[in-house]
Amino acid sequence: MQNFARKEAPELLSLLGVSHCYRRGKNVIPILIDVNLVIRRGHTCALVGASGSGKSTLLNMLGLLEKPTGGALTFKGHSVQNADADQLAHLRNREIGFVFQSFNLLPRLSVVDNVALPLSYRGVSRRQARRLALEQLALVGLADRAHCKPADLSGGQRQRVAIARALVGRPALVLADEPTGNLDSQTAKDIMALLLGLNREHGVTLVMVTHDVELAKQFDRRIQVIDGELHEEGAHGQP
Ligand SMILES: Nc1ncnc2c1ncn2[C@@H]1O[C@H](COP(=O)(O)OP(=O)(O)O)[C@@H](O)[C@H]1O
Ligand SMILES: [Mg+2]
């Protein structure tokens, strides 16, 4: 639980003058331009914007999956530009949980083994990883499905498994890219209630991409990505 005033919460990550470009043949295509953003611990932040505006690119940078092509990104005091691939993978495994629209579960593994995966990568024993995975499944209401395969579950249940997997390693940050995009509206509401409940009750910092303006209203901050630039509603909390 966070016992500090939310606004003064410590900084988790910061982007200073960050840009990102893709190369297409000889052309360099700018996607994000001079992005300045500070995410503080325990906050929830919604990223909204038109398709193709750069939301996933931004989320992948926040998740240390892609390095900025310019500017400075600092995660928990670590400078990301200067880190090598192994250091970034280590940070991601320890500190960041990902939830994707398409769940990204491994079909051959049972539900509990899917959830245990981030711990296995850390070298946690199989027995201990499974114990922690079961605890996490109980938290998302799926303890009784631990030994099913993902294919035996509904879409909403699969996303709960993915959320349990994202949280099992107690990450500082959970990133979700349109996590309700493949779900019907009631299931989407349930998944959102789960994610926001985890923020309130366990202080998980949550950054989520969504198309849904109503959903975004439930977040502490709403940031719109327009033509590669960020526009924050209310603009409080900006650096
Ligand atoms: N790996 C890539 N190579 C080249 N262009 C890319 C790549 N990934 C994304 N893009 C382009 O970057 C832009 C932003 O993409 P993205 O961040 O996925 O947007 P959003 O998530 O807002 O829909 C799009 O025009 C997309 O085509
Ligand atoms: Mg996207």
118, part of any domain: yes
Per-residue model confidence (pLDDT) at position 21? 95
Task: Kindly state the tokens that stand for 80.
Answer: 């990301």
22 lines ligand 1 (CB under 6 A): yes
98, part of any domain: yes
11, part of any domain: yes
**pLDDT of 107 above 70:** yes
Question: If you average pLDDT over residues 206-216, what whole number do you get?
Answer: 91
221 lines ligand 1 (CB under 6 A): no
Q: What would the pLDDT profile of 135-185 be if each residue is shown by its tens digit?
A: 999 999 999 999 999 999 999 999 999 999 999 999 999 999 999 999 998
For position 224, which CATH number holds? 3.40.50.300
Per-residue model confidence (pLDDT) at position 234? 79
Q: How far is CA 10 from CA 85, 88, 205, 234, in A?
A: 26, 21, 11, 20
237, part of any domain: no
Domain that holds residue 11: 6-232
165, part of any domain: yes
1, part of any domain: no
192, part of any domain: yes
Q: What residues are neighbours of ligand 2 (ion), with CB under 5 Å?
A: 56
224 lines ligand 1 (CB under 6 A): no
Per-residue model confidence (pLDDT) at position 129? 97
Contacts of range 209-213, beta carbons closer than 8 Å, 24 or more positions apart? 209/46, 209/47, 209/48, 209/55, 209/56, 209/59, 209/176, 209/177, 209/178, 210/46, 210/47, 210/48, 210/178, 210/180, 211/48, 211/51, 211/178, 211/181, 212/180, 212/188, 213/48
pLDDT mean across residues, the chain: 92
Per-residue model confidence (pLDDT) at position 213? 86
238, part of any domain: no
User: How many folded domains does the chain comprise?
Assistant: 1
Question: If you average pLDDT over residues 78-93, what whole number do you get?
Answer: 93
Beta bridge partners of 27: 24
